[in-house]
Amino acid sequence: MSQLPTNFSNTQTNGFPVKVFLVDDQTFIGESVKKLLENEKDIQFKFCPDPSSALRQLTEFQPTVILQDLVMPDVDGLMMVRFYKASPTLRDIPLIVLSSKEDPQIKAEAFALGANDFLVKLPDKIELVARIRYHSSSYIRLLERNQAYTALAQSRQLLAQEIQAAAKYLSSLLPIPCDGEFKVDWGYYPCSALGGDTFGYAWIDENHFSIYMVDVTGHGMASALLAVSIMNILRSKSLPDTDFKKPDQVLSSLNHAFPSENYGDKFFTIWYGVINKSTRLLHYASGGHPPAILFQSEKSSPIILETQNPMMGLPAFQEFTCSQFQLLPGHKLYIYTDGCHEIHKPDGTEWQFQEFVNYLSTLQNQKGFIPELLHDHAIRLHGPGNLDDDFSILEVVIQ
């Protein structure tokens, strides 16, 4: 046997007691081992002279090491070793076999069956205590690791439940499709439970209808919380000194309200537009966001609507520009996030933006819900697994 250290102490058990369980038909052996361990105050000892009750008592006692005699009149000690290693609750507990003589053949068989150590009884006290502490320390580390894994699994389960609840809450905030002067519907397909996309539309007053799409960098709880904060501000129109009918003012105020250094270095892009119900004139501004795409008819070429403003979160940037476009009945407007067109294919290439625009154009002549048809095509391009980014798109029809 290799030389074992003799300086193991109870400080190495980290709160788990060292528990020794001896199975031996000779009572004087039990008393002798008890005597050897009586001054080791951190070691708990239990003696079992009846092999037939050993498995039950072991399960109750849950030792950190088992001492098993090999020569017993009724039950073969090696058979007991087989029983221990077949038990899911006992097989990992270190096993030291005891024999009255040093027999290489018996040693080999015991180790082949799963024994961890071999001692000729009665061993020297120092050696016995050292081996008990050595094997117990290894087993206790296993218990601690299992305990940590269990705690981690429980923590992950709790986190998953919290994320699921947060995702359900986020979904509840999304607007319902609307019909009227402007028919609005949408497709929202997050790539993870919590995404960084959000969007909305609402009447500012009886004559002005606002539409917006926001994309926060990253995914997960931090991105989702920032997206919700932006959504709530836009829904409640609570930006100070801001005319929500003027997109350039909205972008300037959002940029000032959400500096990236105060929000975990997160930025966001936005497309924000306002339609005058009376004139059908659209005023819009985009900040680092993909351009909106307008179709005047099913056969017309797409019109790109964007402004050259940076993404939000750069407080040093002050001047934002706004543009306008005259809408007419029958026009279709699509506002989306970059997850709709930045699709990575299995061959390593990426779906190009112009390919996205071209495909969206072909969908104008097809029956079906266009956001869903577009998403299905993106899934086919991407191949197995989730898309790399959230896929969000608004369809606005001028009636």
Query: CB burial class (10 A; 0-12, 13-18, 19+) of residue 266?
Result: buried
For residues 134 and 204, state if they share a domain: no
pLDDT over threshold 90, residue 216: yes
Residue 67 domain flag: yes
Residue 353: CATH number of its domain: 3.60.40.10
Domain boundary among 147, 163, 186: 147
Q: Are residues 343 and 220 in the same domain?
A: yes
Span 343-357, pLDDT tens digits = 999 999 999 999 999
Which residues constitute the domain of residue 95?
10-147
Of 112, 147, 182, the residue at which a domain comes to its end is 147
Same-domain status, 251 and 287:
yes
317 with 380, same domain: the answer is: yes
Q: Are residues 242 and 366 in the same domain?
A: yes
Split into its structural domains, the chain has a count of 2
Residue 350 lies in a domain: yes
Q: Distances in Å between the alpha carbon of 127 and those of 1, 5, 6, 243?
A: 12, 9, 7, 84
Whether residue 296 is contained in a domain is answered as: yes
How far are the Cα atoms of 5, 123, 260, 316, 338 from residue 263, in angstroms, in the given order?
Answer: 53, 65, 5, 16, 21
Q: The sheet that has 281-287: what strands, in order across it?
A: 197-205, 208-216, 268-276, 281-287, 323-326
Lowest mean pLDDT among 173-177, 208-212, 315-319: 315-319
Burial of residue 296, with CB atoms counted within 10 A of its CB: 0-12 exposed, 13-18 middle, 19 or more buried: middle
CATH code of the domain in which 90 resides: 3.40.50.2300
3-class secondary structure per residue, 240-290:
CCCCCCCHHHHHHHHHHHCCHHHCCCCCEEEEEEEEECCCCEEEEEEECCC
Distance CA 144, CA 251 (A): 53
Give the residue-averaged pLDDT of 105-124. 90
- The pLDDT value given to residue 299: 85
pLDDT in tens, 5-64: 444 444 444 568 999 999 998 999 999 999 999 999 999 999 999 988 898 999 899 999
Q: Are residues 203 and 339 in the same domain?
A: yes
Q: Which residues pair with 312 in a beta bridge?
A: 268
Residue at 158 is within a domain:
no
pLDDT for 102 equals 83
Q: How confident is the model at residue 13, as a pLDDT?
A: 47
Average pLDDT value over all residues in the chain: 90
Query: CA–CA separation, 171 vs 252, rounded Å?
Result: 27
